Amino acid sequence: EKIKINDNRIKIKFICEKDEYIKSRRKFLRESKTLSTGNIIFLIIMTIIEIFFLAIHEFFFSIIIGVLLIISYVMVYILYFLQPGKLYDKTDFIKKEMLFEFSEKEILATINKKTGKTNWNIIKEIWESEEFIFLMQSNISYTLIPKRAFKENGDTLSLRKMYINANPNGKYKNIK
């Protein structure tokens, strides 16, 4: 059953700040399981095993595990600490003013004075945290909306209702 919404449109305007983008990107990496607690626990356990092999002078396995650990720690460092800031610096449109207009039928996005129109059906899932809304188009592609862009608290609920009405099989996920 469709939820009734007035013919109102939700209009938001924002510029994504660098620290905000970095925080949201790290949240995405954790929530998408690209970099999960399980990955970190595994690295810690492998580090303990590495120390054990070094302690018993088993250098063959110690060298193999050590090299793999170094590669893994460097990758985590790059992915989690370096890449979000570099991605922000490299991507011009993220730093521009963005205007979104949401209605029951469509989403209008204006970035850098260019407007695009899309239907709700491209949004496969909505992730909502305390500070951000992620409009997920796929497992790796999303549109970030800071909640500070909404004028009223009820607008985020209305956005979710619009999505559910337009995409009944769509998923909603509240994230930490």
77-125 confidence digits (pLDDT tens): 999 999 999 999 999 999 999 999 999 999 999 998 899 999 999 999 9
27, pLDDT greater than 60 = yes
- φ/ψ (deg, to 5) at 95: -90, 0
Contact assessment for residue 19 and residue 148, using Cβ atoms and an 8 Å cutoff: no
8, pLDDT greater than 90 = no
Q: Is the Cα dihedral 18, 24, 25, 26 positive or negative?
A: positive
Spatial distance between the Cα atoms of 35 and 32, rounded to a whole number of angstroms: 8
Residue 37: per-residue pLDDT? 87
Q: Provide the b/e sequence for 16-38 (b: ≥16 CB within 10 Å).
A: beeebbbbbbbbbbbbbeebeee
131, pLDDT greater than 60 = yes
Residue 7: per-residue pLDDT? 60
The whole-chain average pLDDT of the chain stands at 92
Q: Is the Cα dihedral 108, 109, 110, 116 positive or negative?
A: negative
**pTM for the predicted model, two decimal places:** 0.86
Name the pLDDT band for 6 (thresholds 50, 70, 90). Answer: low
Name the pLDDT band for 3 (thresholds 50, 70, 90). Answer: very low
Give, in order, the Cα–Cα distances in Å from 174 to each of 3, 75, 133, 147.
Answer: 20, 28, 9, 13
Contact assessment for residue 175 and residue 129, using Cβ atoms and an 8 Å cutoff: yes
